Amino acid sequence: MREEDLSRILLVQACEQSDPEGLHLGFRERRNASREATSAGSPTGLGRGRATQNAQNWMARRATLLARRLAITHPVFRRACWVARLAVPAPLLVGVALLLGIGLDSLGSLRRIHLLSFPLLALWAWNLGAYGALLVRRFSNTAFRAPTTLSSLAERLAQPTARGLSVRTDARTPDPSSWRNESLKRFFTLWREQTGPLLAARVGRNLHTSAAAMAVGATLSMYLAGFAFEYRATWESTFLDPSDVHALLSFLLAPASAILGLTIPSASEIAALQSPGDGEAAVWIHLWSATTVGLVVVPRAAMATICAARERRELESLSFDCDSPYALHLLAPDRGQGGSVEVLPYSYQPSNRSQELLREVMLELFGNHTHLVFCEPLPYGLNLPTPALPPTGKHCRMIVFNLAQSPEQEVHGALLEEIKEWVRENERHHRILVILDEEPHARRLQGRDEGPRSIQRQRAWERVVHSCNLTACILSTDETIETLLLDASEQIWPSASPGASEVHKAHGEGS
């Protein structure tokens, strides 16, 4: 997926989730965008890979339509996408860094080069410090914080701009500034979570490239100054004598001396340069230039190349999670053809509210075309009945337990093992989802503060379910549909990671 498409999808997601009532981005606009995106291509297709690709393309088309509409009324959103990507043109960065390097007074003022104190040493020290920080981060496994820091800065830069870009609205229309700022905040959070490694590689590439360009500019500035003016080399020190200075410079400039074939002046020659004396500076300019190239330009260029390769890999692997609750909700009307879900309560009758939640979650998770079968409660102790499912297609058996009941390994655990065996017999065509209905237990407590007992009961159920290598989704009427959908998508068995991907792809095949 292209980076621009992903940024628009996440921006539209942030705007929609920050406007659940459709006051700023109306439901009609959202539906029209969905229909127009569908007219250009179905979000489903044959084959798992094709279904996922079609879903991502559909999401990108829909987001492009809505982002175009948002950019008209709120131009800051268009700039926010650019700022979040940290998409500074490389030629611009290199040009600015090169000019800064050329403008650096590398040789010092008064046309006298001080061998122990000249501006180029600061450039060396800065780069050596950067290398040390990189090594510490590499061996201490310290997380790179630059993407978070820079994206947060981008967020702060974008939000104040938004205040001056409000369009005139009717007095009855809510002020869009709070929604806009909330959308920007949510967008930058989603973007950081989705593209952290990409941002890290991009920031690294930009920093290394800029540092190398600045070093090249500093080297050029020395030669430009040397061609135009005559510089003289000298030195002075309170603590060092000529032999000490010779030893220090021989250590620092030895690699450059070996590469260029230039001999470092002897201790007696260096003694003659001690202030107020001086001497020719050409040999020192050559040695310092070569050292700068070897110490800064070459390592920085190598690291920039590594970061650029990592950035390309991250760009090639960019994708939008079509199994997220947001995507499942948008894609639900076009998914689920040929699939069925059997809801099997065990030894109790779910309330109307619980059944409504189960229906909504299942249709969101598997698609509106999924065939839902609500079975009569299975009496306590009976074996698993014959599935009330069509003979072909992709199916899920949802076993719903009452959290208020006491779990028994020999009864409830045996039932779960029986369901797992049924799935194994049908190979990869079927799935299991275990639900713990919290509503009867909450109704029994009737507001009494029995938190520890509730936690103990939930843990007891989890132990039984975990003993069968399964996990349960807690059905709570207090949770939002997004939370329940995310929880359910993660608990389906068997399933590839992320949670609902295998189910979604399987149902995409039948669409």
Integer CA distances (angstroms), 194 to 190, 320, 463, in order: 6, 8, 34
- Main-chain phi, psi angles of 332, to 5 degrees: -55, -40
Instruction: Give the pairing type, strands 339-345 and 394-402.
Output: parallel
The tokens of 250 are what? Answer: 């021989």
How far apart (Å, rounded) are the C-alpha atoms in residues 162 and 235? 56
Q: What is the DSSP string of 427-482?
A: TTSEEEEEEEE-HHHHHHHTT---HHHHHHHHHHHHHHHHHTT--EEEE-TTS-HH
Per-residue pLDDT of the chain (511 residues; tens, 9 = 90+): 899 999 999 999 999 999 988 899 999 999 999 999 988 877 765 445 567 888 999 999 999 999 999 999 899 998 888 888 887 888 899 999 999 988 876 666 667 788 887 778 888 999 999 999 988 888 876 544 545 555 455 555 554 444 444 444 444 456 788 999 999 999 999 999 999 999 999 999 999 999 999 999 989 988 888 888 888 888 888 888 999 999 999 999 999 999 999 999 999 999 999 988 888 889 998 999 999 999 999 999 999 999 999 999 999 999 999 888 899 889 888 888 778 899 999 999 999 999 999 999 998 888 888 888 899 999 988 877 777 666 566 788 899 999 989 999 999 999 999 888 888 877 556 889 999 999 888 887 776 655 677 788 889 999 999 999 999 999 988 888 888 888 888 888 886 433 333 333 333 433 3
């104190």: which residue's tokens? 117
How far apart (Å, rounded) are the C-alpha atoms in residues 212 and 130? 13
Q: What is the DSSP string of 185-248?
A: HHHHHHHHHHHHHHHHHHHHHHHHHHHHHHHHHHHHHHHHHHHHS--EEEB--SS--HHHHHHH
CATH code of the domain occupying 332-510? 3.40.50
Say if CB 209 and CB 300 are below 8 A apart.
Answer: yes
What are the structural domain ranges in the chain? Answer: 3-73, 90-144+196-316, 332-510
How far apart (Å, rounded) are the C-alpha atoms in residues 21 and 289? 64
How far apart (Å, rounded) are the C-alpha atoms in residues 10 and 207? 27
496: helix, strand or coil: coil
pTM: 0.75
